[in-house]
C-alpha cells in the first residue's frame, strides 16, 4: 500500500482548481455570456432586419432631440448628447444582454454632471463618464452584479422622484426665459425663480407651454394604437412615438420664422450643432480651466463622491430598465393600460368628493355629532391642559432663547388650527423641548426671525407631504430610531439646562459636549439660591407626581383633589417659584434669582413670516437665512413629524391613525403660527397624556464558576494570543502613525478591563487595522493626543449606549453593510501600507486615491531592501500559515509544534525581521531598512485624557479638538461596535450574545485605556480566532497575555 505526500495532495488540489477556473473562463459558454452578439448573430433572420430598422429609426427620432436636451441640461454643447447616444449604442450592440434596452444619456445623469460643467469645464463630464465606466466594468468583471439586488424599489423611487424635482426646478429658468442662473440645487433654483419672476419672457413661455401641450396631445393620440394595426392607426402610433422629434422640428421652424419676420431673436437659441463624428482621443486626465491647471488628482478631488454616485445611479437605471423589459412588453401602451381620460376623471372625482372633505377637515365629521355632555369634560380637560401648557410654553421659549410670549403664541395658534384639522382628539399640539433645543442655536447666533422662519418652512414641508399623501413614509421610521433620537435630545436638553439650574456663568452651549465643557469650566461659579430653587422644584414635581398615583377623576373628593393637584404640578411649581422670587426680591432688595423678564401682553400681531431680516448691521436675504439654518430646516419638520405621529399612535387606542391628515394639521399649525410669531410646534406627549387623563372627548378640549482545569488552557491561550497581539499592536500603532508602545498600551489596558466586564470569553479586544486607519489622518495632521481623545470619546459613546440598554440597535446593522465597510477599509489599509512595503518617498496619503497617486508619482523611488524584506515577510507568513494546516493543539508533539509555530507566525516574522535588520546594520554600517524606532519601556503613565493639546504653536481646546475630529468621533465607536458584536456573534457557538454588556465592556476598555495613552480598541477577529483554537475557557485567558505585555514593556 502506498501513501501520497499530503503536500502533493494539496498541490494537486490547487492545480485542479486552477485548471477548472481556466476552463470556465476560457470556454465558449463564457464567451457567449460576456459577448452576447456571438449568441444571437448566428440566429439572426432576415425578417428581423425590417423590424430592427423601423425600431432604430423610431428610437433615433426620440434619441436625437433627447440627446440635445440632456446635453443642454448638463450645460454642454448639443453634439455631446449625440456623441453619447452614438458610441453607447454601438458598444451595447456587442455587449448588451437585453435586446429591448437602449442606452444613452438620461436626465438624472445630465443633472448630476451639470454642476461641474458650469463651474469648471466639459472635460469634467468626460472624465466622469470614463470613471463611471471603469467602476461599472470592474464590478461586472468581478461578478458583483448581485449587489444591485440590495437596492430596494423604494430607494430607487425616492431617488428618481428627488432627481425629477431637481431637473424640473432647474429647467424653470429656460421655460420662462428668466435671467440669472438655473442653480445646482432645488432650493437654489426655486430661489432664482422667485427672485427673477418679473423678468419672464412672453415668447419663451408661449413656446414652452405649446410644446408641453403638443407633447401631451401627441402622446394621447397614440393610445390604443400599435405597430401591427391598419395604416391610419399605424401612422398615429408612429407620429406619437416620434413626438419629441416632431416638437423639436416645429420649434426650429417657429424660431426661424420669428427671427426672419422680427429681425431679432425673441427666443433663446442653444447654438449650432457641431457636424461630423467625434474625434477619438484619451479622456482628459488633466485639464486647464481659465489660468488654472487641474491634474487627475485635482479633478478627482473636485468631483468628490460624484465619481461614485454617477456610476451608482447608472447601474440603478440600467438594471431597473432591463428588469422592466425582460418580460417582453412590446410597447408603452402595453405597460400602461389605463387611458389619460380615465385617470383624470378618477382624480377629479376623488379630489372633489365629500369623503375627501370629511377626511381632510375632520371638524365636519365630529361637530354634527357633538353632545351637550361633552362640553363639561372638554372644558375641564381644556383648563387642566391650559394650566400645564402655559408654564411649559414659557419654559420651552426660554430653552429656545425666545421671549416667554413666543411659547404662549405657539400654543394658542396651534390649538385653534388643530381643532379644525386634527384627526386624533386626544392629541394636544404646541412647542416641545426637542424643537425648542433645535432652534436655540439659530436664535442665539442670529435673531428671533430665524425661529419664526423655521416654523413656516417646517409647516410648508409637512403640509406639502400631506397634500401629496406621503403620510405612509413615517411608517418607515422605526421605533428604535425614534427612541434613540429622543434619548439623545433629552440628554442635550438636560445638559443645556445645567447652566440655569446651577446659575453658572458662561454660555449653555449648543451641543452636549459644549454644555458639559461649560459646566466643568465654570463649576466654581455655582449660585446657592439658583441651585436650591432648582433642586426644590425638581423634588416638588416628583412628589406631586407621586401624590396622584392610584387616583382618578372619577374617585371620591379627596382622591379627585390629589389627582387634580398632581396634574397641575407644572403650574403649581411655577406659581410657587414666582412667589419665592418676589419675596426674595422684596426682602433682600436684590435679585438673587435670575428672572426671565416680563411677558408681553395681548395677542400676537399677525404679519408675513420674516423672509429677510437684519442682525446687527448685517442684512440676511431669504437665501442667507436658508444657508444659516442649513440642515435645521429639514431636521425640525422631521422631528415634528416623528413626535406628532408617535403621540397620535400612542393614544389611538388601537385605532388606525391617518398620518397624512396629521401632517396636514400640524403643517397648517406651523404655517399659520409663523404669521403670528410662533415658534415651531408639534404633538406634545405630556400635554396629550394630561388631555387623555382629563377625559377629553373631542379636539376642542450573570457569574461564571471558575474550575481548576481551566487554568492551564487559559494560560496556553494567553501565551498564544500574546505572541500575535504584541507584533499586531506594534503594527497597528505604526498604521495609525503612533509610536509602537501606544499599540501595546491599548492591548494591555483593554485586556484587563475586558476580563472583568466582557461577556464572551472567546473575544480578545485590542487595536485593529480599521480603527488604526481611521485615526491615522488626525495623528499625521495634528498629534497623538487626538487618537487618545478619540479612544475616550468612543468609550463614552459605547458605554452610554450600553447603560441605556440600546445594544439591540446593532441588530439593525446588516451583514452586507459590515462586509462592504470592512472591504473598503481593507483596501484603504493596503493602499496606505504600499509606501512602507516598497520604501517609497512622499506621504502615504489619508485616502485610497491619494495613496495610489503617491504610489505612481514615486514609483521610481522604490527601495530594494524594503521591497525584498516586505515580500519575504508576506511569503513567510503564508508559508507558516500553511504549515499549520491539518494540525491541532491536541495532536502529537510534532504536529503540536507546527500548530504553535503557525499560530505564532506574526511574532516569528517580527523576530526574524529584527535579526535581519540588525545584521544589515552591523555588516553594512548603515541602515538600509527604515526603522520604526525604540519602543518605550515601562507601563503607561496614567493621566487624564487630553481635553486640550498643543500642536506646534497652536493650542487646541476640547471644542477645537471635537471640531477637528468631526464625524470621526461617532464613526470610530460605530465601527468598534460593528467589529465587537460581529466577532462575539461569530464565536458564540449559537448562544445568545449580550450586545449591551459587550458595549459596556468595550466602552470601559476605551475609557480606561485613554487614561493610559491607549489608541481606540475593539474586538479583534484574528486574535479572537487564535484565542478560540487555543482552547480558552474564560476571559481570564487574557491575564497571561497581559503578563507577556508587561515583560515586553
Band of residue 48 on the pLDDT scale cut at 50, 70, 90: confident
Report how far residue 434's alpha carbon sits from residue 335's, in angstroms, rounded to the nearest whole number.
47
What's the start-to-end Cα distance of the chain, in Å?
Answer: 55
State pLDDT tens for residues 199-243.
Answer: 778 878 888 888 888 888 888 888 888 877 888 888 888 888 778
Task: Say which residues have a Cβ less than 8 Å from residue 272's Cβ, sequence separation at least 6.
Answer: none
More confident residue, 862 or 1049: 862
CA dihedral of residues 764, 765, 771, 776 (deg, nearest 10): -110
More confident residue, 546 or 278: 546
Q: What is the pLDDT of residue 77?
A: 85
The mean pLDDT of the chain is 70
Phi-psi category of 866—alpha, beta or left, where left has phi over 0 and alpha has psi -120 to 50? alpha
Q: What is the 3-state secondary structure (H, E, C) of 19-88?
A: HHHHHHHCCHHHHHHHCCHHHHHHHCCHHHHHHHHHHHHHHHHHHHHHHHHHHHHCCCCHHHHHHHHHHH
- pLDDT of 1018 > 70? The answer is no
- pLDDT of 681 > 60? The answer is no
Among residues 116, 103, 95, 123, the alpha carbon closest in space to that of 33 is found at: 95
Q: What is the pLDDT of residue 334?
A: 33
Q: What is the pLDDT of residue 80?
A: 84
Mean pLDDT of 577-592: 75
Task: Say which residues have a Cβ less than 8 Å from residue 444's Cβ, sequence separation at least 6.
Answer: 401, 507, 510
- pLDDT of 434 > 50? The answer is yes
Please enumerate, as own/partner, the contacts of 227-235 that have beta carbons within 8 Å and a separation of 24 or more: 227/54, 227/331
CA dihedral of residues 542, 547, 549, 551 (deg, nearest 10): -150
Q: What is the pLDDT of residue 919?
A: 78
Band of residue 22 on the pLDDT scale cut at 50, 70, 90: low
- pLDDT of 448 > 50? The answer is yes
Q: What is the pLDDT of residue 844?
A: 63
Q: For 263-292, where are the alpha helices, taking DSSP H only?
A: none
Q: Could you give the percent of the chain with pLDDT greater than 70? A: 54
Across 96-105, 286-295, 596-605, least confident range: 596-605
More confident residue, 986 or 76: 76
State the cell numbers at 1028. 478560540
At 171, give phi and psi (nearest 5°).
-90, -5
3-state helix, strand, coil in the chain (%, to 5): 70, 0, 30
Report how far residue 659's alpha carbon sits from residue 680's, in angstroms, rounded to the nearest whole number.
19
Mean pLDDT of 474-481: 62
Band of residue 897 on the pLDDT scale cut at 50, 70, 90: confident
Q: What is the pLDDT of residue 343?
A: 46
Helix (H) or strand (E) holding 369: none
Cβ(765)–Cβ(754) under 8 Å? yes
Helix (H) or strand (E) holding 188: helix 186-195
Band of residue 1026 on the pLDDT scale cut at 50, 70, 90: very low
State pLDDT tens for residues 523-537.
Answer: 777 777 778 878 888
Q: What is the pLDDT of residue 478?
A: 62
Report how far residue 1043's alpha carbon sits from residue 1030's, in angstroms, rounded to the nearest whole number.
17
Q: What is the pLDDT of residue 613?
A: 74
Angle between helical axes of 784-803 and 769-781 (0-180°, round to 10): 130
Q: For 242-280, where are the alpha helices, taking DSSP H only?
A: 243-262
State pLDDT tens for residues 824-846.
Answer: 656 666 776 777 777 777 666 65
Residue whose entry in the numeric block shows the C-alpha cell 445645567? 498
Q: How far is CA 876 from the centre of its chain?
A: 42
Report how far residue 492's alpha carbon sits from residue 510's, in angstroms, rounded to the nearest whole number.
8
Report how far residue 793's alpha carbon sits from residue 787's, in angstroms, rounded to the nearest whole number.
10
Band of residue 754 on the pLDDT scale cut at 50, 70, 90: low
Residue whose entry in the numeric block shows the C-alpha cell 432648582? 534
Residue 484 in 3-state DSSP? helix
Report how far residue 746's alpha carbon sits from residue 80's, in angstroms, rounded to the nearest whole number.
56
Helix (H) or strand (E) holding 1019: strand 1018-1019
Cβ(1007)–Cβ(792) under 8 Å? yes
More confident residue, 27 or 619: 619
Q: What is the pLDDT of residue 335?
A: 34
Within 13 A of 90's CA, how many CA atoms are on the CB side? 5
Residue 526 in 3-state DSSP? coil
Helix (H) or strand (E) holding 497: none
Among residues 276, 271, 312, 289, the alpha carbon closest in space to that of 123 is found at: 289
Class of residue 918 by CB neighbours under 10 A (exposed 0-12, middle 13-18, buried 19+): exposed
pTM to 2 decimals?
A: 0.36
Length of the chain: 1049
Q: What is the pLDDT of residue 15?
A: 62
More confident residue, 860 or 334: 860
Q: What is the pLDDT of residue 839?
A: 77
Cα distances (Å, whole numbers) of residue 147 to 1, 307, 982: 51, 18, 21
At 697, give phi and psi (nearest 5°).
-115, -25
Report how far residue 676's alpha carbon sits from residue 397's, in angstroms, rounded to the nearest whole number.
15
Report how far residue 574's alpha carbon sits from residue 610's, in angstroms, rounded to the nearest whole number.
32
Amino acid at each position: 500500500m502506498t501513501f501520497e505526500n499530503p503536500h502533493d495532495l494539496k498541490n494537486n488540489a490547487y492545480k485542479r482548481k486552477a485548471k477548472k477556473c481556466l476552463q470556465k473562463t476560457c470556454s465558449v459558454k463564457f464567451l457567449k455570456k460576456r459577448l452576447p452578439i456571438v449568441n444571437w448573430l448566428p440566429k439572426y433572420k432576415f425578417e428581423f432586419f425590417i423590424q430592427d430598422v423601423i425600431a432604430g429609426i423610431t428610437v433615433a427620432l426620440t434619441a436625437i432631440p433627447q440627446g440635445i436636451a440632456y446635453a443642454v441640461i448638463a450645460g454642454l454643447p448639443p453634439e455631446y448628447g449625440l456623441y453619447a447616444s452614438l458610441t453607447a449604442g454601438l458598444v451595447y450592440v456587442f455587449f448588451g444582454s437585453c435586446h429591448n434596452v437602449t442606452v444613452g444619456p438620461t436626465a438624472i445623469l445630465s443633472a448630476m454632471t451639470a454642476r461641474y460643467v458650469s463651474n469648471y469645464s466639459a472635460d469634467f463630464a468626460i472624465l466622469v463618464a470614463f470613471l463611471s465606466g471603469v467602476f461599472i466594468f470592474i464590478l461586472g468583471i468581478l461578478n458583483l452584479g448581485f449587489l444591485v439586488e440590495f437596492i430596494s424599489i423604494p430607494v430607487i423611487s425616492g431617488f428618481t422622484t428627488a432627481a425629477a424635482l431637481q431637473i424640473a426646478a432647474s429647467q424653470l429658468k429656460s421655460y420662462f426665459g428668466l435671467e440669472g442662473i438655473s442653480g445646482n440645487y432645488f432650493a437654489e433654483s426655486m430661489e432664482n425663480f422667485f427672485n427673477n419672476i418679473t423678468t419672464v419672457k412672453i415668447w419663451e413661455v408661449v413656446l414652452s407651454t405649446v410644446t408641453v401641450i403638443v407633447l401631451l396631445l401627441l402622446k394621447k393620440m397614440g393610445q390604443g394604437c400599435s405597430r401591427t394595426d391598419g395604416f391610419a392607426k399605424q401612422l398615429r402610433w408612429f407620429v406619437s412615438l416620434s413626438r419629441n422629434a416632431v416638437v423639436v422640428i416645429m420649434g426650429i421652424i417657429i424660431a426661424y420664422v420669428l427671427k426672419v419676420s422680427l429681425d431679432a431673436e425673441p427666443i433663446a437659441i442653444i447654438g449650432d450643432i457641431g457636424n461630423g463624428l467625434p474625434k477619438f482621443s484619451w479622456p482628459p486626465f488633466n485639464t486647464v480651466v481659465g489660468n488654472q491647471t487641474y491634474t487627475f488628482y485635482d479633478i478627482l478631488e473636485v468631483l468628490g463622491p460624484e465619481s461614485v454616485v454617477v456610476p451608482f445611479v447608472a447601474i440603478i437605471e440600467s438594471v431597473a430598465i432591463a428588469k422592466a423589459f425582460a418580460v417582453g412588453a412590446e410597447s408603452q401602451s402595453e405597460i400602461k393600460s389605463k387611458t389619460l381620460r380615465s385617470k383624470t376623471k378618477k382624480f377629479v372625482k376623488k379630489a372633489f368628493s365629500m369623503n375627501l372633505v370629511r377626511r381632510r377637515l375632520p371638524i365636519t365629521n365630529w361637530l354634527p355629532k357633538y353632545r351637550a355632555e361633552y362640553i363639561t369634560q372638554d372644558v375641564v380637560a381644556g383648563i387642566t391642559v391650559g394650566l400645564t401648557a402655559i408654564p411649559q410654553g414659557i419654559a420651552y421659549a426660554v430653552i429656545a432663547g425666545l421671549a416667554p410670549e413666543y411659547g404662549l403664541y405657539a400654543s394658542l395658534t396651534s390649538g385653534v388650527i388643530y381643532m379644525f384639522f386634527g384627526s386624533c382628539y386626544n392629541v394636544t399640539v404646541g412647542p416641545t423641548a426637542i424643537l425648542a433645543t433645535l432652534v436655540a442655536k439659530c436664535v442665539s447666533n442670529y435673531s428671533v426671525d430665524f425661529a419664526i422662519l423655521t416654523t413656516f418652512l417646517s409647516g410648508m414641508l409637512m403640509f406639502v407631504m400631506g397634500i401629496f399623501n406621503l403620510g405612509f413614509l413615517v411608517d418607515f421610521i422605526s421605533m428604535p430610531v425614534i427612541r434613540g433620537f429622543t434619548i439623545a435630545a433629552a440628554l442635550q436638553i438636560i445638559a443645556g439646562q445645567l447652566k440655569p439650574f446651577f446659575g453658572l456663568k458662561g454660555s449653555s452651549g449648543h451641543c452636549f459636549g459644549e454644555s458639559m465643557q461649560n459646566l466643568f469650566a465654570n463649576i466654581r461659579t455655582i449660585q446657592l439660591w439658583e441651585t436650591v430653587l432648582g433642586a426644590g422644584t425638581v423634588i416638588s414635581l416628583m412628589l406631586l407626581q407621586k401624590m396622584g398615583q392610584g387616583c382618578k377623576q372619577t374617585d371620591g373628593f379627596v382622591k379627585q383633589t390629589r389627582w387634580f393637584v398632581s396634574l397641575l404640578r407644572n403650574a403649581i411649581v411655577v406659581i410657587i417659584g414666582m412667589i419665592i422670587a418676589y419675596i426674595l426680591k422684596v426682602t433682600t432688595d436684590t435679585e438673587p434669582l435670575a428672572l426671565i423678564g416680563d411677558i408681553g401682553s395681548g395677542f400676537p400681531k399677525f404679519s408675513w413670516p420674516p423672509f429677510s431680516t437684519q442682525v446687527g448691521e448685517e442684512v440676511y436675504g431669504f437665501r442667507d437665512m436658508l444657508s444659516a439654518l442649513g440642515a435645521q430646516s429639514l431636521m425640525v419638520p422631521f422631528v415634528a413629524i416623528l413626535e406628532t405621529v408617535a403621540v397620535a399612535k400612542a393614544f389611538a387606542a388601537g385605532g388606525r391613525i391617518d398620518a397624512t391628515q396629521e401632517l396636514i394639521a400640524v403643517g397648517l399649525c406651523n404655517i399659520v403660527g409663523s404669521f403670528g410669531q410662533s415658534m415651531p410646534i408639534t404633538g406634545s406627549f405630556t400635554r396629550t397624556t394630561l388631555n387623555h387623563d382629563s377625559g377629553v372627548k373631542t379636539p376642542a378640549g450573570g457569574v461564571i464558576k471558575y474550575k481548576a482545569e481551566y487554568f492551564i488552557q487559559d494560560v496556553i491561550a494567553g501565551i498564544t494570543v500574546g505572541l500575535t497581539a504584541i507584533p499586531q499592536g506594534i503594527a497597528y500603532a505604526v498604521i495609525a502613525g503612533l509610536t509602537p508602545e501606544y499599540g501595546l498600551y491599548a492591548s494591555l489596558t483593554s485586556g484587563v478591563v475586558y476580563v472583568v466586564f466582557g461577556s464572551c470569553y472567546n473575544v480578545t479586544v485590542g487595536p485593529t487595522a480599521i480603527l488604526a486607519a481611521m485615526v491615522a489622518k488626525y495623528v499625521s495632521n495634528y498629534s497623538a493626543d487626538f487618537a487618545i481623545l478619540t479612544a475616550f470619546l468612543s468609550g463614552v459613546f459605547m458605554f452610554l449606549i450600553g447603560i441605556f440598554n440600546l445594544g439591540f440597535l446593532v441588530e439593525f446593522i446588516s451583514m452586507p453593510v459590515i462586509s462592504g465597510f470592512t472591504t473598503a477599509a481593507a483596501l484603504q489599509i493596503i493602499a496606505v501600507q504600499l509606501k512602507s512595503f516598497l520604501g517609497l518617498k512622499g506621504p502615504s496619503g489619508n485616502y485610497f486615491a491619494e495613496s495610489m497617486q503617491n504610489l505612481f508619482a514615486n514609483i521610481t523611488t522604490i527601495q530594494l531592501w524594503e521591497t525584498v524584506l516586505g515580500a519575504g515577510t508576506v511569503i513567510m507568513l503564508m508559508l507558516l500559515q500553511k504549515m499549520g494546516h491539518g494540525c491541532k493543539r491536541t495532536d502529537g508533539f510534532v504536529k503540536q509544534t507546527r500548530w504553535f509555530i503557525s499560530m505564532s507566525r506574526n511574532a516569528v516574522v517580527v523576530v526574524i525581521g529584527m535579526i535581519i535588520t540588525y545584521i544589515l546594520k552591523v555588516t553594512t554600517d548603515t541602515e538600509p531598512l527604515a526603522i520604526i524606532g525604540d519602543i518605550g519601556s515601562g507601563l503607561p503613565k496614567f493621566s487624564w485624557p487630553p481635553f486640550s493639546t498643543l500642536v506646534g504653536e497652536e493650542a487646541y481646546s476640547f471644542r477645537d479638538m471635537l471640531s477637528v475630529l468631526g464625524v470621526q468621533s461617532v464613526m470610530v465607536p460605530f465601527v468598534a461596535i460593528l467589529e465587537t458584536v460581529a466577532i462575539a456573534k461569530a464565536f458564540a457557538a449559537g448562544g445568545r450574545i449580550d450586545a449591551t454588556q459587550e458595549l459596556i465592556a468595550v466602552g470601559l476598555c476605551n475609557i480606561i485605556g485613554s487614561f493610559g495613552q491607549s489608541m481606540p480598541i475593539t474586538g479583534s477577529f484574528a486574535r479572537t480566532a487564535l484565542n478560540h483554537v487555543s482552547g480558552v475557557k474564560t476571559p481570564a485567558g487574557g491575564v497571561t497575555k497581559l503578563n507577556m505585555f508587561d515583560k515586553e514593556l
